[in-house]
Chains A and B, each alone.
Chain A
Amino acid sequence: MSGVATETAVTIRVDDQEVAVPEGATILDACNAAGVDTPTICYGPTLTPVNVCRVCVVELDGSRALVPSCSRPAEEGMVVHTDSERVRHSRKMVLEFLATGVDLAQAEEMGQWAEHYGADPDRYVPGGETMNEPVRVQDNLYIRDYDKCVLCYRCVEACGDDAQHTYAISVAGRGFGARISTEFDVTLPDSACVYCGNCVAVCPTNALQFKTEFDLRQAADWRPEDQTVTQTVCSYCGVGCNLELHVQDNQIVKCTSPDDHDVTQGNLCIKGRFGWNYV
């Protein structure tokens, strides 16, 4: 967590270890400090926690329900269990639930956790409702494939309060019918979107994809193993954003920025993110 580090430390117990973390740190920070690997979906290091996916839950002594580690501040003396029967069960169910309705084929990390916890999405009623959304291809920059959307709110946060302050997208609808949407589902070019691509950068499931990647995947020619990443500084203006250019067969196929870069925190504008498209 940035900006919260202070001199005071709190000590909490994570499984068998005592760990000290700065005041304001979360239980997740403490788990990380203790070297305990924790699955996360809606959490992003540069985003305000929305604690909606619940895959990061831990058992906290004295709390009736499990608590989301990504948002719960660590407090002195807390005793946390990260691998109890209840924790494993809820994490498994979250991953299993998502897999019953969402296409997670390109969400590698989630797939690994699902295997780890033994999620079995095939045990549900056959023919259950799924996201069932068409791919939205509305421009040459990025596509939206909400069949892959787990409603983690990360894109909404990145477009809104947490980075971009454009508010082009929101969650619309309710319950299982909730979807990420522009107003009245107008196309991106008609919406407030300024194509910064920050939403694409934070999407954990590839529901938001660069058009280049999408096209290559359609052509069965997306080969991350053959890609190289070149670090450079964006030349469009004087801010000095770091760019990572992903290159496949001498073509730039995608552009990211490191989360830990102090200027960008992973965010860019249209020129840095997509400028190479016009080069």
Chain B
Amino acid sequence: MADLHFGDDQPTNSERTAVDAVVPEIDAATVTETERLVRGGRSRRQGLRHLLLPVLHSLQHEIGWISPGGLNCAAERLGVPPAEAYGVATFYELLRTTDPGHKEDVVHVCVDPTCAIAGNGELRASLEASGARVHASPCLGQCERAPAVFVQGVSRPDRVPADDDEDFRLPQAGDTGLRVLRRTGVVDPTSLDSYRQHGGYQALAQAIDMGPDAVIAAVSESGLSGRGGAAFPTGIKWRAVADEPGPDKHVVANCDESEPGTFKDRIVCEHDPFAVIESMTIAGLATGSPHGWIYIRGEYPRATARLEGAIAQARSAGLLGDDVAGSGQRFDIELRRGAGAYICGEETALFNSIEGFRGEPRNKPPFPTTHGLFSQPTAINNPETLINVLDIVTDGPEAYRSVGTERSPGTRLFCLSGRVAVPGLYEVPFGTPLGNLIEMAGGPVGSLAAVLLGGAAGVFVGPDALDMPLSLEDTREAGATLGSGVVTVFDDTVDMQAVVVRIAEFFRDESCGQCVPCRVGTKRQHEVLVELQSSGKALSPRRSELIDDMALAMVDASICGLGHTAASAVRSALALGLIGNSS
């Protein structure tokens, strides 16, 4: 790389300190020398670049924005061109590159559907009246306690006010049929001893006895599929990574959880963090990957703290490090925080984000199993997927398959919110009818109008779909999806037009902007829906055709899943007649 040019802007002392606070961690960093497949296949050394996002977080936190002097300091220390560092900083919603003119905390108020139903407008108005610096935010992953708020601290820790007075109880607490949520709300999430008393780390010991091949075989036989949205068979993914040669392979836990309506990973990471660490460790040993990473969204301060605490305790106990539990194998975990970008949950965007690049998805193939993080073989999984592995190892695949359906074995977490009596996280066997699940949550409030399955990237179904079994095969057949387990319930008092406009706005705001079909398509789709909303008229055939034309191009020609799904909820709302009729 040629010598870099830096402008004249100098950092203040506090900015320099903020950068220093992150960069000395070099020694602890798992990867000190990295190579990246630059889109087509070039590699280049990026020594410290993977510290860019942590450094930007540190600067933002110190003075409330990233100033030209601060950016220069960060870029120079890390050897990153300042233009590229600016490109990265401007990618994230939690990072500011303009001077806010104050040093007060920023109060993020959720504007997504569940919180809108729950009265976020009034909340926002009262916060503003009290002088708070309010910022509209997409779903904050707290839909079960809507309307949601996240406070981004300046020189003070971030916090979630709802965490303060929460006496956590799972709606299903005490249900012995639970698997993934068995310890949640029962175990002390800050104590390794407590985790062990509840059966923790038995699975790791057993996995070490079984050996990598047997573990992967068990995962394959269990039929476990990904819970992050794409439902890819986990065993196949792990096998592929295990078969790749070379010592530098990675296991990533994708805790970015930003699909509107999803809050399961937050609850699991807050209340059973050791289970995430233990199952990641099993994945690391099984695939022969010494490097573990947790990428967690920036709006989850408590889950972050609990995971960090769990990593530290596991490390002290020899359950992470150079010789994991006497296995002779190395596995350790680094945690990285996102900074407000839904797209960074897409696996390849997540890799770019960790590597210190803009969170733009990569074209596939090549796939993460061969070219993942730092272009090295990578097994990336959702935490819910990972935790399932614990029971698969201890109880065996047959026992695992004893619940659920033949083609969707096991249980599934569902995030119920909106107009239900008891919003919250529920675990049920795959194949449970939608209506039964809603009844478990106390039934609908008011007269049921529609259910959004799978979040913004999912589809609306009507009251006639309550019999639909929630399995991968049945939802697929019905043209629906389980996605990340979102079940948002709407009654006939909800303004569905506003809900759909907001979903379109969400995609417009969250598109990374890389590819034309999605960058422009999400924008124009939103404009058409706003026009429809303000006209109060029925959707014209011309506009209907335009919506379909845009949707087809986004599905067919976009780079990633965001573009592929950006029209699905909109079109299902039209098909169900939730919007588009004259009012």
- Confirm or deny: B217 has a beta carbon within 8 angstroms of a beta carbon on chain A: no
A20-53 vs B, Cβ < 8 Å mask (1 yes, 0 no) = 0000000000000000000000000000111111
- Confirm or deny: B351 has a beta carbon within 8 angstroms of a beta carbon on chain A: no
- Confirm or deny: A86 has a beta carbon within 8 angstroms of a beta carbon on chain B: yes
CB distance from A72 to the nearest CB of B (A): 8
- Confirm or deny: A206 has a beta carbon within 8 angstroms of a beta carbon on chain B: no
Q: Given A71-B363, A89-B552, A94-B553, are A178 and B516 neighbors across the interface (CB < 8 Å)?
A: no
Q: Is the CB of B84 within 8 A of A167?
A: yes
- Confirm or deny: B187 has a beta carbon within 8 angstroms of a beta carbon on chain A: no
Q: Is the CB of B83 within 8 A of A94?
A: no
Question: How many residues of B are counted as interface, with CB atoms below 8 angstroms from the partner's CB atoms?
Answer: 59
Q: Is the CB of B557 within 8 A of A66?
A: yes
* 516-560 of chain B: CB within 8 A of chain A: 516-517, 519-524, 527-528, 530-531, 542, 546, 549-550, 552-553, 555-559
Main SS at interface, chain A: loop
A44-80 vs B, Cβ < 8 Å mask (1 yes, 0 no) = 0000111111110100000001101001000000000
Residue in A123, A167, A172, A176 whose CB lies within 8 Å of B523: A176
CA distance A53 to B553 in the complex (A): 12
A residues in contact with B557, CB < 8 Å:
54, 57, 65-66, 90, 93-94
Main SS at interface, chain B: helix
- Confirm or deny: A7 has a beta carbon within 8 angstroms of a beta carbon on chain B: no
Q: Is the CB of B531 within 8 A of A192?
A: no
CB distance from B552 to the nearest CB of A (A): 6
Q: Is the CB of A52 within 8 A of B514?
A: yes
Among A57, A93, A173, find the residue whose CB has the most chain B CB atoms closer than 10 A: A93
Q: Is the CB of A174 within 8 A of B90?
A: yes
- Confirm or deny: A82 has a beta carbon within 8 angstroms of a beta carbon on chain B: no
CB distance from B70 to the nearest CB of A (A): 11
* 172-201 of chain A: CB within 8 A of chain B: 172-178, 181-184, 186, 190-192
A104-134 vs B, Cβ < 8 Å mask (1 yes, 0 no) = 0000000000000000000111001100000
Give 7 closest A-B pairs by Cβ, nearest first: A167-B81, A192-B5, A170-B87, A93-B553, A178-B513, A97-B520, A48-B40
- A sample of 26 cross-chain residue pairs with beta-carbon separation below 8 angstroms, ordered by A number, consists of A51-B363, A52-B516, A53-B516, A54-B557, A65-B555, A65-B557, A90-B557, A93-B517, A93-B553, A124-B528, A125-B528, A151-B513, A165-B1, A168-B5, A168-B83, A172-B87, A174-B512, A175-B513, A175-B523, A176-B523, A181-B86, A181-B87, A182-B83, A183-B83, A183-B86, A184-B86
User: Which A residues form the contact surface with B (CB < 8 A)?
Assistant: 48-55, 57, 65-66, 68, 71, 86, 89-90, 93-94, 97-98, 100-101, 123-125, 128-129, 150-151, 160-161, 164-178, 181-184, 186, 190-192
